[in-house]
Amino acid sequence: MEQSMAQGVSASSDEPNSTVGLNVFDGLRKGDPAPFWLFRGVCGAWGIDRGRARLDLITVSENATFLLLLDARPEGVVRVSQPGYVGGPLAVASEISWLNALHEVEGVHLIDPVPTVRDSFVTTIHDLHGVGWTVISTKYIAGTVLEDLDNPAPYYTTIGKWAAEFHDQSRRWVRPFGFTRFSWDVRAMVGPSPRWGRWEQARLSDEGRDVCGRALRRALGVVATMPRTSRTWGLIHADLRPSNIIRGEGGRLTVIDFDDSGYGWYLYDYASSLSFIEHETYAPELARAWVEGYEGVAGPFGGDELDMMSALSMIRRLQMLGWTTNHREDALPGGLAAQQAPGSVLCAKRYLRDPRWLLNAGASATPSESVDASQGANPARAAASRGLVLPGNPCNPLTQSDADSGAGREAASDIRKGA
């Protein structure tokens, strides 16, 4: 055990400098080549012939992610961790340790980490200023990210099922010596100094901020009543949603991203599965599909669990609203970033009226819940860009009245069935 963790970290694992951030990649757009210091370091660490290789940007979010091509063919994905974000090389090695252990879960498909020439899964590459960046590489997975499909809804039962299987493994798994990951407690999510940005700094009207604050306090009250035990709290993926799952050949699904994994409420994985889209008219169908998949493995939820997962969903919504205050808009599909502030107010109103609104088929709404431009709304519709426009509600994804009509429910059901 002790040896396996030690092998997860390269000998060059200097402590990262937390004063440096991903802004060093601000000048890059998707497809641009990586800085030469990074390209050279990756080739050296993984023994790659520079003359055959390219390293092109995929995206910048919590980390910078690059596509590794050899002889113009995609071979791997390289992830460059923001200095100080997860706790340095040992924390990243712990992430890989759990990922490798999860490969033993039958029927679940995961990315494969690639060891360096030193037989470690994690290395540190220094930039031109001597700052150490923690870097890993995984094998390339051909396919389409579920988020980019016209209809990701049919896969939510599988997402819920896999979350339950991850939780079962987490409860039984004996951590190797030196294992360390951060926690997704309330302070990390929505505290005064959260891991991501503060939701209060988003573009909200005074009324919208008040509504969100009242919903948050109600949700936090529910979380405070849940005891933290081995059944309710443990190691979780924390971001098991369509943007982190690839559908490959023959419909095979592969989970590709574990960088947010840490200790938290197990039911937080329900909340994270709906990140950024809770306000959409089809979200309740996704929520119920997730529950169906989870209960198929772990058994029916009790009422206190349904209350807890609903509270965590409200908290997660505001946590991700904070995330938008200090992340690039192109980290989300087109138009979705602009919907987060008005969508959060809408979710808060619904939560205050019915905490289980995402799970209750008859969630009601009033015309007053349409988006107000003063909340920072943008008419761009992210769902339309993914082909998820429901009949009767083609323009404004944040107007609930159509979704609550019989036609709206039938359309949402069609989406889930892939019609």
Domain boundaries, the chain: 2-140, 146-417
Task: Provide the residue-wise pLDDT of the chain in tens; the chain has 419 residues.
Answer: 344 554 444 433 334 344 578 889 989 999 999 999 999 999 999 999 999 999 999 998 889 999 999 999 999 999 999 887 778 899 999 999 999 999 999 999 999 999 999 999 999 999 999 999 999 999 999 999 998 887 788 999 999 999 999 999 999 999 999 999 999 999 999 999 999 899 999 999 999 999 999 999 999 999 999 999 999 999 999 999 999 999 999 999 999 999 999 999 999 999 999 999 999 999 999 999 999 999 999 999 999 999 999 999 999 999 999 999 988 777 787 788 889 999 999 999 999 999 999 999 654 444 345 444 334 333 333 333 333 332 223 223 233 333 333 333 333 333 223 33
Q: What is the pLDDT of residue 22?
A: 85
Instruction: Quickly count helices (H) and strands (E) in the chain.
Output: 12, 10
Q: Give the DSSP letter of residue 248.
A: -
Question: Which residues lie below 8 Å from residue 255, measured CB to CB, with a gap of 6+?
Answer: 108, 109, 110, 111, 162, 237, 240, 244, 245
Q: Quick check: 350 and 278 in contact, CB under 8 A?
A: no
pTM of the shown model = 0.82
Distance CA 10, CA 3 (A): 13
Q: Quick check: 342 and 375 in contact, CB under 8 A?
A: yes
Residue 262, beta-bridge partner list: 236
Q: What is the pLDDT of residue 369?
A: 57
Q: What is the pLDDT of residue 328?
A: 75
Q: Quick check: 89 and 124 in contact, CB under 8 A?
A: yes
Q: How far is CA 377 from CA 169, 337, 392, in A?
A: 42, 10, 20
CATH architecture of 146-417: Alpha-Beta Complex (3.90)
Token duo for residue 136? 């890993």
The dotted CATH code for 2-140 is 3.30.200.20
The residue ranges of DSSP E strands in 157-309, in sequence order, are: 233-236, 245-247, 253-255, 262-265
Q: What is the pLDDT of residue 62?
A: 83
Question: Which residues lie below 8 Å from residue 351, measured CB to CB, with a gap of 6+?
Answer: 215, 218, 219, 310, 314, 357
Q: Which residue has the tokens 């360390």?
A: 180
- Of 321, 223, 218, which Cα lies nearest the Cα of 264? 223
Q: What is the pLDDT of residue 384?
A: 35
